[in-house]
Amino acid sequence: MDTDVLKIDRLHVEFPIHIGTVRAVNDVSLTIERGKTMGLVGESGCGKSTLGFSILRLLRPPGRITSGKILFQNNDIVSMTETEVKSLRGNKISMIFQDPLTSLNPLFTIGQQFVETIRVHEPQVSKKEATARAGEMLRELGISPDRLKEYPHQMSGGMRQRIMIGIGLVLDPELLIADEPTTALDVIVEAHFLDLLKELSEKLQLSIMLITHNLGVVAQMADVVTVMYGGRIMETGKAEAIFAEPKHPYTRGLLDSVPNIKITQPHLIPMEGMPPDLVDPPTGCVFHPRCPKVMDICRQQVPGGENFDNGHITACWLWRK
């Protein structure tokens, strides 16, 4: 049995605009294993959410996938028809969006939205059966089934986020894409949400792509960490290896800018500069204008992936063989 649920191979995504072309995802390759959580991290504007939307072909025009493959169960999503992709959305691959209040339809009850999700993919299921399944899902999420009769605005932010999880999981998908799912939550609700997500992942052998800039969330949740910058992957590897011994200067910069009670240094070390303009990105390594260890070759050539132990890979000339 194939242990990989998703493979992305040399994916390129562009957004043509009036002043040029935004290269939002540039030559990205990654793999998500069955039952594992990948933390996709990086600063805002580095292509994380665009990559997540690309997997479900939800890019807003004029965004387009220009080349590469997205293999799910050995079928290339890039070459699928729209009908075939619709059969995957919510069924085999689900997505939790950043703001559940804008993702849920305010004109329909929670129960109606659950029932619609189920019956679109399983039309043979009756409305009564679908409602019963929705109630069971709410119980697992710690919410009374009586709340199915209520509307999104009648619920708290944490409860709406759990509703989004329930709608995403009610059809037993194999992959869940969670795009900044804890942004609007307070720390207590966030902790309960992450515990729930981890429990469901272990119980259902669910694979998760967790898109976030919060390294604390990644440390708690992820088995594998992938670091993006300027539309490219800078580093990927097992979470413990990334946090213990990061290889790329950008990954080190991210970690140095996060508070840590175990570190005795008196001040955080913020990275200088800003993420690149993806209409006109730097030549060579996209991080070189901000890199404290930049070399001449960094300004001239895009680095390849240097491999370390246990699948730890970094795109950095410091480690060239």
Q: What is the mean pLDDT of residues 220-240?
A: 95
The pLDDT, as a whole number, for residue 111 is: 97
| pLDDT value of position 264 | 57
DSSP string, 218-244: HHHH-SEEEEEETTEEEEEEEHHHHHH
pLDDT in the model for residue 268: 66
Distance CA 35, CA 193 (A): 18
| 183-203 tens-digit pLDDT | 766 777 777 778 878 887 888
Give pLDDT, residue 220: 87
- Position 226 confidence tier, pLDDT thresholds 50, 70, 90: very high
Provide the residue ranges of all domains of the chain, joining segments of one domain with +. 4-92+173-319
What distance in Å separates the CA atoms of residue 122 and residue 126, rounded to the nearest whole number? 9
Position 260 scores a pLDDT of: 62
CATH superfamily of 4-92+173-319: P-loop containing nucleotide triphosphate hydrolases (3.40.50.300)
8-state DSSP, 89: B
Counting every residue, how long is the chain? Answer: 321
For the chain, what is the total number of helices (H) and then of strands (E)? 11, 12
Q: Name the band, by pLDDT with cuts 50, 70 and 90, for residue 142.
A: confident
Encoding tokens for residue 232? 């490219």
Q: 123 φ, ψ to 5°?
A: -65, -20
* SS3 assignment, position 55: helix
b/e burial code for range 148-169 (CB count within 10 A of at least 16 → b)? beeebeebeebbbbbbbbbbbb
Write the pLDDT tens digit of every residue in 42-74: 999 999 999 999 999 999 889 999 999 999 988
Provide the pLDDT for residue 232.
97
**Residue 6, Cβ density class (10 Å: 0-12 exposed, 13-18 middle, ≥19 buried):** buried
**CB burial of residue 22 (10 Å; 0-12, 13-18, 19+):** buried
Q: Which residues pair with 13 in a beta bridge?
A: 25, 65
Of 55-64, 66-75, 220-229, 259-268, which gets the smallest average pLDDT?
259-268
Average pLDDT over residues 175-187: 82
Residue 257, H or E segment: none
Q: Return the higher-pLDDT residue of 100 and 144.
A: 144
